[in-house]
Amino acid sequence: MKNFRKNRKALSPVVASIILIAVTVAVSIAVAAWMGALSIGFMDTEQMQITQCQFTDSGTTITLSVRNTGTTDIVINSATVNGVDAPVTGAPYTVDKNTDDTIVLTAAWSPGSSYSIRLLSAKGNYFPYNAVSP
């Protein structure tokens, strides 16, 4: 029994190496899962183009043709025309991802004037467009 205590050694180098590799792999898997969960939230992007603008209804309505090219649906909460709030018909208005749609604004306009139109999404992104009325 005395010889057993004297000959007792620490872990062999092979066993220690295997334990270190196992711990490293476990930690790297945990970090990869955590980073993957973080990046999923950043992958949803809002990208929309205003492709056309029509001034209609004798100076009271602006109709915008839009294309959502992003990876998520875009909810339009409000709009401005030359810095003045312009109500969006059906607000909050949702433009589905990868689709073309039409957004109608109620705003006064006069022929031959230049207008700066900005749509505001629920996530706080602005989509600008400049147009000249006919």
Residue-wise pLDDT for 91-127, tens only, equals: 899 999 999 999 999 998 999 999 999 999 998 999 9
Residue 28 binned pLDDT confidence (cut-offs 50, 70, 90): very high
**What's the CATH number of domain 48-132, 1.50.10.10, 3.40.50.2300, 2.60.40.10, 3.40.50.10470?**
2.60.40.10
Global pTM reads 0.67
How far apart, in Å, are the Cα atoms of 92 and each of 77, 87, 88?
5, 10, 8
Q: Would you list the domain boundaries of the chain?
A: 2-43, 48-132
- The answer on pLDDT for 7 being more than 60 is no
- Position 130, amino acid: N
The residues, any chain, with a CB within 8 Å of residue 121's CB and separated by 6 or more, are 46, 48, 74, 75, 76, 77, 127
Give the span between the Cα atoms of 28 and 24, in whole angstroms.
Answer: 6
pLDDT recorded at residue 58: 78
- The answer on pLDDT for 36 being more than 90 is no
